[in-house]
Structure formats: structure tokens, C-alpha cells
Structure 1
């Protein structure tokens, strides 16, 4: 039986791996395991040991705490203005595509796009 924490950590591994544009095979090679093990981690089928999570966090460029963010939010969280946002917004492929594209934009243009998005969301 899958433990909810293992499932959550696995999802966060998958999302971060996808965000940096890395395949399961590439991550597995950098961590020194088979890609099937990465698949099992990402589905929550296998629990990630502390040392392996350390290696994965180093490879993906995030602190270990990244994998536990949002663990207490089951249905959703309150946004800045009281809007409910999905607890697992990164499960939405469109949201992931948008974030990935956003970070490919040069920083000065990205800032302007961010400001525009804020204005548009306030007007909605």
C-alpha cells in the first residue's frame, strides 16, 4: 500500500525533473540507479531513502524541503486574496508548460510579463 507522503514526494520529484527538462533515464544515471527505480519513486510505489533523496535534490538543484512542500494541503490552499488554488497545481500539464516557458524568457522581459499577468488577474 502506498503511503501518502511517499506519493507526494514522488510527485514532487517528477514535477521538478520535468521542469528542468530531465528524463527519468538522465536522473537515474546521475543518481546511480536504474530508471525503473525513478519510476517507482515517482509513483510512490517505493519509498525514497534519506541519502537517495539527498542525491536527487542535489541533481535537481533544490533543497530537500522542496519535496515536502504542500504536504499538509490535501484539497487546496488559500491564495493571497482568498482564492482557492489546487493543492497539486503542478499536476496540470498546462500549468507546467506555462511555468517552463516563463523561465525560458529573459529576466527583464519575464518581469514585465509577470507585471502584466498581475494587472490582468486583478481586472478579472
Structure 2
């Protein structure tokens, strides 16, 4: 049976990988494992060891703590989000596109989005 923490860590791996536009194959090569193992980590089927999580964090350019963000320590269950943003490919594509925009234009777009959201 999958442990909720392993599922959460796997979702965070997938989220970061998609945000960067990295394939499972590319991540696996960077870490030195087969892409099937990345698949198992992302679904929570296999637990990620501490040393492997360290390697994945380095390959994805995030601190190890990134994979545990949003986890409620009292219940070991992921904190509830309004929607499962980590599983929404469209949202991740939007984030990837957003960060591809030059910073000054990105700030303007952010301000526009903030104004539009308050007017809705």
C-alpha cells in the first residue's frame, strides 16, 4: 500500500520536473537510474531513499525540503488545495510559459492578473 508521504513526494518530483520541462528520461539520466524508477517514484509506488532524493533535488535545482512542502506534519497527509494543481498539466504549462517571459514583462503580466482577479 502506498504511504501518503511517498505519494506527496512523488507529486512534488513530478511537479518540479514538469515545471522545468524535463522528461522522466532526462531526469533519470541526470540521477543515474532508469526512467521506470522515476515513474515509480512519481506515483508513490516506490519510496525515494534519502540519498536518491538528494540527487533528485540537485538535478531539479531545489532544496530537499521542497518535496515536503504542503505536507501536514501532524497527520502526514498532504494539505488540501482548492484543486490538485500538481496534477494539472495546463497549470504547469502556464507556469513554465510564465517564467519564459522576460522579468520586466512578467511583473507587468502579474500585476495585470492581480487587477483582473480582484475585478472578477
User: 2-side partners of 1:24 and 1:93: how far apart?
Assistant: 15
- TM-score, normalised on structure 2? 0.91
User: 2-side partners of 1:20 and 1:57: how far apart?
Assistant: 13
- Specify which structure has the bigger relative contact order, considering alpha-carbon pairs within 8 angstroms and separated by 6 or more residues: 2
What SS class does the counterpart of residue 2 from structure 1 fall into? coil
Residue 65 (structure 2) pairs with residue 65 (structure 1): yes
CA-CA distance at 1:89 after TM superposition: 1.6
Q: How does 1:7-18 map to 2 (within 5 A)?
A: 7-18=7-18
Residue 117 (structure 2) pairs with residue 112 (structure 1): no
CA-CA distance at 1:104 after TM superposition: 0.6
User: 1-side partners of 2:79 and 2:64: how far apart?
Assistant: 20
CA-CA distance at 1:93 after TM superposition: 1.7
Name which of 80, 88, 111 aligns with 1:92: 88
Residue 80 (structure 2) pairs with residue 75 (structure 1): yes
Write out per-residue CA displacement over residues 62-81 of structure 1, whole angstroms, 9 at most, x where no aligned residue: 001110111124433xxxxx
- TM-score, normalised on structure 1? 0.88
User: 2-side partners of 1:113 and 1:5: how far apart?
Assistant: 35
Residue 22 (structure 2) pairs with residue 26 (structure 1): no
